[in-house]
Structure 1
Amino acid sequence: MKVCESIEQSSISARPNFPITLSKLYINGEWRDSHSGKTFPAIDPTTEAEIAQVAEGTVEDVELAVKCAGTAFAEAWGQMSGHERGEILWRVGDLFLKYGEELAFLQAKEMGRLFTDSMTVDIPHLANMFHYYAGWASKIEGSVKQTTKGLHTYTLREPLGVVAAITPFNFPLILSISKFAPALAAGNTIIHKPASATPLSALKVAQIMEEVGLPPGVFNVVMGPGGTVGNALSTHPGIEKVAITGSTASGIRVIKDSADTLKHLTMELGGKSANIIFADADLDVATQTAYDGMFYNKGEICYAGSRMLVERSVYDEVVERVRQRALDTKPGDPLDPNSQMGPIANKSEYDKVLSYMQVGQKDGARLVAGGKAADIGTGKGYFVEPTVFADVDSEMTIAREESFGPILSIIPFETFEDAIRIANGNQYGLASGVHTRDIKKAHKAAARLKAGTVWVNTYGHFDPSAPFGGYKMSGYGREQGWEALEFYLQTKTVWVDLS
């Protein structure tokens, strides 16, 4: 599945609308108010209006969720056969297709993702993810080892236990399911802490898990601030693993908080991905692909190709092509099928993106498109213009730090070695892109780039079978593929004396 591909949309509602009915915590198969009774608002970034009051979890709520998830692991889910778990997970995938429009609507309302993108990309991918891991659930095996004569030695692959999933606001469904599906297939139980900006889609997922008949306690959702709920999950001795997608700073906090209990960790963190365009590339394809790889989902993507490296001989032409595409991209209501870019997900991110636009200009980069807030005619919403900076130096802030918004830095280079040096000269290593007609050059670049994913003459392809994760400060561990299962299992070696 490619992030920017389009499929037949004739079955998509022109203007969907669903009631917002879910707002409570989901613990042990029950919908509960917070222990404190406190709530917090869910805000529509398109209108800046409150759309729901959502239960704000506490340490006590986490304690209850851990207890119930531990019981469910010991007495139910962890004791099921892989075949049984696989059958249930397959049905979960089917329900994501059934409720696709509602899930897409919720993402549009709570974080501004284009409804059409959710329907054509997210929903099929979510169903595929559960179907893929449903197949793996019955294929988790150990092996017999040839050791000393008279001894029978074998390994068992066992689930860890209770897993905490801490997820961000930018792809609230995809980045959650990439944790849930392998964790459940391996036999673990889950406590999910979604981003405070995106609780509504998370609660719909809980409702799907309830409908499919997961035993109580197997899947739980506790909303609330990271400093409270996230910290409680990271420090709790009953949690065996934390899987987080978030900023590098958030990942470091989880690592520190979890150190005393030596938890298993998967860290999918920040990025400042380099997208290299060589002079021999097909510039029509390369500029369109690289543009989409940056501005898709309003740039709120961890793998965004936010550093476009362009060979000097075609630099001016590429800058102009990208500038024109930015000028032609119109922000709008994410529920409008004609919109090309939705609002920034929340006010704090909106302010941060605007500040990076100002920093880029202050540092001397050449602004060629955008650079300010956008007005879609309502006077409301966290909309910004797709922004392109040219003549960026690698030491500028906008070339070093993750702005997490629609801000592209274009950097010229002279030689192959120059391109690789610039691309690798950053603290992050989540993803990268290479555009060239020379297949030898492409393979050579892929081998040299310090990034967990390299896309060649494309950008943003994902599939449940293909692992994804980072190098350097972009984290460790992998999501998707059979490789992800390894991070939700542990190995036991058994020795039997046959004498």
Structure 2
Amino acid sequence: MFESDQHLQSFYIDGEWRQASDQCLRQAVINPANGEVSGYIALAGEAEVDAAIEAAQRAFPLFASTSREQRLELLENICRIYERRLDDIAAAISLEMGAPLEALSRPLQAPAGLWHFQTAKAVLENFAFQRRQGSTEVVREPIGVCALITPWNWPMNQLVCKVAPALAVGCSIVLKPSQNSPYSATILAEILDEAGVPRGVFNMLNGQGAKLGEQLASDPRIDMVSFTGSNGVGAQLSRAAASTIKRVSLELGGKSANLILDDADLEQAVTQGVRSMMSNSGQTCIAPSRMLVPATQLERAEAIAAAVCAELGLGDPFVGSTEVGPIAHQRQFDSVQRLIALGMTEGARLVCGGLGKPQGLERGLFCKPTVFSAVDNRMTIAREEIFGPVLCLIPYHDLDEAIAIANDSIYGLSGYVQSASAERARAVALRLRTGSVHLNGASIDLTAPFGGYKQSGNGREWGEAGFEEFLETKAILGCI
């Protein structure tokens, strides 16, 4: 799977793999499908972080001065090598975090990184780094040394949507991927090394998020922090970065509402909503976890949702028929179980699923696809991001109430509207306080801005908006 298993015991710093010292801690990587150890990684400490920052700072001036053509060639090389290693990446993701190989890792999880590199290349071809405004020239320049801190749930998607634009505009990088998804990150480092990324421009360290994140965010040599993960960690990084007044871009939690309007095809809308919610075992920040249904149609929606869950194929991620794999790690599994228990205590009606593991899947971290109904939006399961295969059915009586419920959340990352009328769906979308809205099953657009309102974060990723995050603006006045 890897060019060398020793890379898991190494850190990629200044264009080379540096073997971890005896002082570095080691951590077992657990296969969530069976609880067995699949490998070990070395965890970086302060010395390794310092070396990576120093390398990135030293490399930045020269890389920032490279031409558009040079960076386009680099991205082309990366895409070519990435495509060759798609199968390695897919297998790594299934092993490290449990995404089903045929249903998710191979068709979506692995190629998502390639698509972001391809998108960055397309944007770079025509991006306006300079423009005239009368006698003033407005120049966009790379922001500098960027600390990128990424999660485990969509590992390559979340890595590359930061790495690709940062490289495209001329920044240097210190990447800290999740220690729960180190295999795919290691392969990415191998790809960038083979593609010829200049020494020091890309550096990668596995390590404990709280410790390394604090050091990266507070270091004055880091010009920008881009983080995807939990709200609590996002707040900690913001506090750590505050003393050096650096840019902090955050993509945090979500509790997305899926508004099924009274004119929608209920069978199709509920089926699609349930399958989308349960995909990736519910471990997706934009998962449609609150399904808002007309009160008169709630009982029928319950029956449809239960039937869909009963048909889902749970099991080993490497078995071709598997549609839903395990929760990625023990801490997350425990959190999901706690919130399911709380939903039952708070009085929500359990339609299917519930506590414990599915029969026959006791060895791994498998969670029963769970649907609660008659959920009040004030309940904890409607307020907190569960990040597991748990759906809340919330009844509403009219459109204004539905929109009020959808907006009654500290989050605002994504939303969904289902209607027989595209115009009506769009009118509802305009009233939702959220960073994106999917109408009638619309898929992801990697060129569209991605990010959230309220406590779902700040800044935008993907496409041209992703470039903007890694650029400073300079005005040169008095040009002739």
TM range (shorter): over 0.9
- Determine the structure 1 residue equivalent to 2:60: 73
SS at match of 1:137: helix
Return the match for 1:491 from 473, 476, 479: 473
101-110 vs 36-45, which moves further: 36-45
2:369 aligned with 1:386, yes or no?
yes
1:438 partner amino acid? S
Change (3 A) 1:371 1:378: closer
8 Å Cα contact 2:93/2:109 also seen in 1? no
Greater Cα shift, 384-393 or 121-130: 121-130
Structure 1 SS opposite 2:61:
helix
* Match for residue 137 of structure 1 among 121, 124, 138: 124
Query: Residue 372 in 1 paired to residue 326 in 2?
Result: no
Contact 1:164 1:242 in 2 (8 A): yes
For 1:22, what is the secondary structure of its paired residue? Answer: helix
Q: Deviations over 1:116-138 (max 9, x none)?
A: 21211233332221122123334
One of 460, 465, 473 as aligned partner of 1:478: 460
Match of 1:285 in 2: 268
CA contact (8 A) 1:162 1:238 kept: yes
- How many residues align? The count is 476
Residue in 2 aligned with 1:50? 37
1:404 and 1:497 mapped to 2: Cα distance?
53
Aligned pairs for 1:358-437 within 5 A: 358-375=341-358, 377=360, 379-437=362-420
What is aligned with 1:13? Answer: none
State the AA in 2 paired with 1:86: L
More displaced 10-residue stretch of structure 1: 26-35 or 303-312 = 26-35
> Does the aligned pair in 2 maintain the 1:34–1:58 contact within 8 Å?
no
Question: Percent identity between the aligned chains?
Answer: 36
Q: Structure 1 segments of 4 or more deviating over 4 A?
A: 16-21
Matched, 1:253 2:253: no
Q: Note the 1:15-54 alignment, pairs <5 A.
A: 22-23=7-8, 24-35=10-21, 36-54=23-41
Distance 1:407 1:83, change over 3 A: same
Structure 2 letter corresponding to 1:142: Q
Asked whether the 8 Å contact 2:109–2:156 carries over to 1, the reply is yes
Partner of 1:227: 210
Where in structure 2 are the equivalents of 1:454-473 lying within 5 Å? 454-458=437-441, 461-473=443-455
Q: Does 2:144 align with 1:170?
A: no
Q: Distance in 1 between matches of 2:256 and 2:388?
A: 13
Aligned match of 1:161: 144
Residue number in structure 2 paired with 1:150: none
Q: CA deviation at 1:72?
A: 1.2
Quote the residue 1:5 is aligned against.
none
Query: Cα distance, 1:496 vs. partner?
Result: 4.2
What is the TM-score normalised by the length of structure 1? 0.92
Structure 1 unmatched runs, 5+: 1-15, 148-152
Q: Is the 8 A contact 1:274 1:433 kept in 2?
A: yes
Partner of 1:7: none
Tell me the distance in 2 between the aligned counterparts of 1:18 and 1:330. 33
Following superposition, the deviation at residue 34 of structure 1 comes to 3.3
Shift of 1:480: 0.6
SS in 1 for 2:307: helix
1:113 counterpart letter in structure 2: A
- On the 8 A contact 2:2/2:187 being kept in 1, the answer is no
TM-score where L is the length of structure 2: 0.96
CA contact (8 A) 2:260 2:418 kept: yes
Which residue is 2:339 aligned to?
356
Q: Give me the CA root mean square deviation.
A: 1.7
Q: Does the Cα contact within 8 Å between 2:113 and 2:159 map onto a contact in 1? A: no
Q: Match of 2:7, SS?
A: coil
Q: Which amino acid aligns with 1:22?
A: H
Give the C-alpha shift of residue 430 in structure 1.
0.4
Give structure 2 stretches of 5+ with no counterpart. none
Structure 1 pair 193–55 and aligned structure 2 pair: CA distance change class (3 A): same
TM-superposed deviation, 1:378: 5.7
Letter aligned with residue 120 of structure 1 = P
Q: Deviations over 1:224-254 (max 9, x none)?
A: 1122111111111111111111011111111
User: Residue 18 of structure 2 aligns to which amino acid in structure 1?
Assistant: R
State the SS of the aligned residue for 1:144.
strand
1:113: how far off? Answer: 0.9
CA distance in 1, matches of 2:114, 2:24: 35
Q: Check the 8 A contact 1:86/1:136 in 2, yes or no.
A: no
CA distance in 2, matches of 1:44, 1:332: 13
Deviation of 1:497 (Å) = 7.0
Residue-by-residue CA offset, 1:63-93 (whole Å, 9 max, x unaligned): 1001101111123x21210111011112212
Q: 1:140 to 1:306 in 2, by over 3 A?
A: same
Cα separation, 1, equivalents of 2:2 and 2:449: 35
Equivalent position to 1:128, from 104, 115, 137: 115
> 75, 86, 102: which one pairs with 1:89?
75
Check the 8 A contact 1:83/1:137 in 2, yes or no: no
Residue of structure 1 equivalent to 2:98: 112
2:134 is aligned to 146
Q: Any idea what SS the aligned residue of 1:143 has?
A: strand
